[in-house]
Amino acid sequence: MAMCEVNGKTFETDEEGYLANITDWNEDIGAYLAQTENLPLTEQHWEVVNFLREYYNEFQIAPAVRVLTKAIGKKLGPEKGNSQYLYELFPYGPAKQACKIAGLPKPTGCI
Amino acid sequence: MAGPEIKAPAFREYPTIPVMQPGSMAGLKPFVANDKVQEALGFPTQLAENWQDTHDAVIAKMGELLGKYRSLKVYMDACVHCGACTDKCHYFIGTQDPKNMPVARQDLMRSVYRRYFTPAGKLFPALVGARDLTREVLDEWYTYYHQCSECRRCSVFCPYGIDTAEVTMAGRELLASVGYGQKYSNEIIGKVHKIGNNLGLPGPALENTLEGLMEDVKEDTGIDIQYPLDVQGAEVLLVTPSADFFAEPHIESLIGYGKVFHAAGISWTMSSKASEAGNFGMFIGNYDQLRKIAMRVREAALELGVKRIVVGECGHAWRVAYSFWNTLTGVGAGASDPFAIQLQSQLDHRYKQPSHICEFTWDLIQRGAISFDKEANDHRIITFHDSCNVARGSRMGDAPGGQFEIPRSIIHAVANKYVEMRPGTTHEQTFCCGGGGGVLTDDLMELRVKGALPRMETIKQVVDGQGVNFLATICAICKAQFSKVLPFYGFKSSMIGGVHQLVSTAIRLGDK
């Protein structure tokens, strides 16, 4: 557990650097979390991050990789609707790395 | 993830016994469960402030376990330090840390056992290798009992049949019971109780995911294949690891199960209550958790009124189902409470209860109820990785060794090109993937990469020698672990997949 501060807002992260409380999230904190992953954020990254947050708000879980690729494909064009595109954006894996930046809890289990 | 770069150990020219590097893994500990995680399982949240209290609690609990599990007492007493197990552990081979020799890992506990539970150790500790329980010893337990995947390969070679996994389980049970639990496993168990599965996938998300899957399969095949949830009165309840709903390549096998049910015309359902086959209660050695998690399946089966229970591709789930459901919940036979009796009368006893999805599919193949275009898998040269808990903790079919033969028979029925890995590393002597038993977590990545070495060496032989490009397994942990560690050894992570992924590719579904 660690306390961090970005632009005057303090928030807590867990042992692995995931945001402890999802309601603390804002774009500055997202950018900060991306920095901890050494990942410069582009507009394409934000498209994915925003989709993850929308999905989470509805279902209280991150989308399955398949759901994510399909949704991204629908929204941004079929050439982006594949896991290769997502892995290029988030080299450590969209499920874990993109979730971290979006402030979502880490997906657990046999994945 | 940001952090020190992990390098895979070099392939060995010959699989010789590695040179020891004492202490090389002493610094690697998984994250400790926080208060919230421990509390949710009814464990103390922290170690006692006063060491003596923790010390006494551990010794008392150890006495309780020794009384409850005769096996543990036998394992503590029986070892003669012959050394047969030393080089059989993938973690010792990959890390070279002598404390990862199975005998040494057990001795971390055995030395304490001797001190407090044997006359010689009470009177002459130094003469019999007995030692006091100290904070340092407890930390050592935490470190090394989380560097064991409970795969039981060492036990195959032990002349006394000592089951190291049970010692590891007891070690973890002792630790969790005094407020020193592991975050990864305990957090997951909490999610099973709260949400229904290891992933934390709530019912509506599960429904949404399955609907999307039906659309995808329709797009691929032109056929409406159902992936039903909570259907009352279905013939079969399929219980599968939640990773099958979420991760790649796991989901390809789930697609395959659905095609098998469709082609055979058997009604089936999954359950939002029992939306997880995995049972991490076994990994942490806690009987109450093991039972509580298993009970969800029995409750779901009763509520849905199904006639058969089938378990999907999950290694340790099948061990729990095949070996423990009997006594845990009466899903098999033998339990005598009213609900178990009701379940027994409800289930169709012409079939094995429970059945593995491979037994289910193989039965249909033998009866000619499903058929295949084997050529559809011709782009694949396949090898099969036996998963520990299936290989050494369960069986399938009617004959000894069915757990080895049935998955292979399915592969032969659906594909033309198949290669075995080196003898001595398959069947009951299979090497662990390196991620089983509650260590499949990012904080243990170094262990996972190094522990995969012996399996990677045999994969390299068949990749270089016979052009293998598909590694088939029937375990969600194996699939996730291989996806992550294959690239460390220069292989593509896309070569890993499920047996029912191969079934899915070749199965005939009728007219489009």
CB contact under 8 A, B1 and A108: no
Domains of chain A, by residue range, sit at: 2-101
Q: In this predicted model, what pLDDT tens digit does every residue of B337-346 receive, in sequence order?
A: 888 888 888 9
Smallest Cα distance from A96 to chain B, Å: 9
Give the tokens for residue B190.
Answer: 């909490």
Give the tokens for residue A41.
Answer: 């954020």
Buried b (16+ CB within 10 A) or exposed e, B48-85: eeeeeebbebbbebbeebbeebeebebbbeebeeeebb
Number of Cα atoms under 13 Å in the Cβ half of residue B211:
6
Contact residues, chain A, for B246 at CB < 8 Å: 64-65, 95, 107, 109, 111
State the burial class of residue B371 (Cβ atoms within 10 Å of its Cβ: 0-12, 13-18, 19+): middle
pLDDT at B394 over 90: yes
Q: Which residue of A has its CA nearest to B478?
A: A110
pLDDT at B282 over 60: yes
CB contact under 8 A, B2 and A37: yes
Closest CA to B143 of B175, B165, B115, B120: B175
Which residues of A make CB contacts under 8 Å with B?
1, 14-17, 36-38, 59-61, 63-67, 70, 83, 92, 95-97, 105, 107-111
Q: What is the mean pLDDT of residues B193-220?
A: 95
Name beta bridge partners: A11.
A4
pLDDT at B320: 97
- Contact between residue B237 and residue A96 where contact means Cβ atoms under 8 Å apart: no
Contact residues, chain B, for A109 at CB < 8 Å: 188, 191, 197-200, 241-243, 246, 278, 476
Contact residues, chain B, for A95 at CB < 8 Å: 246-247
pLDDT at B2 over 50: no
Smallest Cα distance from A8 to chain B, Å: 25
Give the tokens for residue B147.
Answer: 């560097």
pLDDT at B330 over 80: no
Smallest Cα distance from B19 to chain A, Å: 32
Clarify whether A110 is annotated catalytic. yes
pLDDT at B331 over 80: no
- In SS3 terms, chain A reads as CEEEEECCEEEEECCCCCECCHHHCCHHHHHHHHHHCCCCCCHHHHHHHHHHHHHHHHHCCCCCHHHHHHHHHHHHCHHHCCHHHHHHHCCCCHHHHHHHHCCCCCCCCCC
Q: In this predicted model, what pLDDT tens digit does every residue of A53-68 receive, in sequence order?
A: 999 999 999 998 888 8
Cα separation, B458 vs B461, whole angstroms:
5
Which residue do the tokens 């009866």 mark?
B367
Which fold does the domain A2-101 belong to in CATH?
Arc Repressor Mutant, subunit A (1.10.10)
Please give the backbone phi and psi of residue B213, each rounded to the nearest 5 degrees, phi first.
-65, -40
CB contact under 8 A, A59 and B204: yes
CB contact under 8 A, A64 and B251: yes
Contact residues, chain A, for B212 at CB < 8 Å: 66-67, 70
Cα separation, B103 vs B97, whole angstroms:
12
CB contact under 8 A, B212 and A66: yes
Catalytic-labelled residue, pool A1, A3, A110, A111: A110
Architecture of domain B35-181 in this structure: Orthogonal Bundle (1.10)
Cα separation, B248 vs B496, whole angstroms:
10
Residues in chain B: 512
- Contact between residue B289 and residue B212 where contact means Cβ atoms under 8 Å apart: no
State the burial class of residue A8 (Cβ atoms within 10 Å of its Cβ: 0-12, 13-18, 19+): exposed
Cα separation, B349 vs B199, whole angstroms:
32
Domains of chain B, by residue range, sit at: 35-181, 196-362, 371-506
pLDDT at B83: 95
Q: What is the band of A92 on the pLDDT scale with cuts at 50, 70, 90? A: confident
- In SS3 terms, B467-502 reads as CCCEEEECCHHHHHHHHHHHHHHCCCHHHEEEHHHH
pLDDT at B415 over 60: yes
Q: Which residue from A92, A97, A108 is facing B191, i.e. has the nearest CB?
A: A108
Q: What is the band of B512 on the pLDDT scale with cuts at 50, 70, 90? A: very low
Q: In this predicted model, what pLDDT tens digit does every residue of B437-480 receive, in sequence order?
A: 999 999 999 999 999 999 999 999 999 999 999 999 999 999 99
Cα separation, B312 vs B361, whole angstroms:
11
Contact residues, chain B, for A97 at CB < 8 Å: 1
* Prior bond of B125 cis (ω within 30°): no
Q: In this predicted model, what pLDDT tens digit does every residue of B133-187 receive, in sequence order?
A: 999 999 999 999 999 999 999 999 999 999 999 999 999 999 999 999 999 999 9
> Degrees (nearest 5) of the Cα angle B153, B158, B164?
55
Q: What is the mean pLDDT of residues A4-32?
A: 92
Give the tokens for residue B82.
Answer: 């012959």
> Degrees (nearest 5) of the Cα angle B160, B153, B489?
155
Which residues touch B84 (CB under 8 Å, ≥6 apart)? B157, B158, B159
| Best residue in B189, B199, B215 for a mutation probing chain A (most A CBs within 10 Å) | B199
Cα separation, B476 vs B240, whole angstroms:
9
Which residues touch B505 (CB under 8 Å, ≥6 apart)? B376, B377, B414
pLDDT at B148: 98
Cα separation, B192 vs A45, whole angstroms:
31
Q: Which residue of B has its CA nearest to A61?
A: B201
What share of chain B in percent tops pLDDT 70? 98
Smallest Cα distance from B203 to chain A, Å: 9
CB contact under 8 A, A109 and B208: no
Reduced to 3 states (helix: H, G, I; strand: E, B; else coil), residue B410 is: helix
Query: Strand A2-6 relative to strand A9-13: parallel, antiparallel, unpaired?
Result: antiparallel
pLDDT at B193 over 70: yes
Q: For all residues of chain B together, what is the average pLDDT? A: 95
State the helix-helix crossing angle for A43-59 and A65-76, rounded to 10 degrees. 120
pLDDT at B338: 85
Please give the backbone phi and psi of residue B498, each rounded to the nearest 5 degrees, phi first.
-100, 160
Cα separation, B378 vs B363, whole angstroms:
24
pLDDT at B79: 97
Of residues A24 and B5, more confidence is placed in A24
Give the tokens for residue B362.
Answer: 């193989």
pLDDT at B78 over 70: yes
DSSP state of B45: S
Contact residues, chain A, for B440 at CB < 8 Å: 110
pLDDT at A84: 85
pLDDT at B4 over 70: no
Give the tokens for residue B255.
Answer: 């697609």
| Best residue in B246, B283, B478 for a mutation probing chain A (most A CBs within 10 Å) | B246
Q: What is the mean pLDDT of residues B195-211?
A: 94
Q: What is the band of B390 on the pLDDT scale with cuts at 50, 70, 90? A: very high
Neighbour order of strands in the sheet with B470-473: B382-384, B470-473, B496-498
- Contact between residue A103 and residue A19 where contact means Cβ atoms under 8 Å apart: yes
Q: Which residue from B187, B202, B245 is facing A59, i.e. has the nearest CB?
A: B202
What share of chain A in percent tops pLDDT 90? 57
Of residues B226 and A71, more confidence is placed in B226
Q: In this predicted model, what pLDDT tens digit does every residue of B38-72 receive, in sequence order?
A: 999 999 999 999 999 999 999 999 999 999 999 99
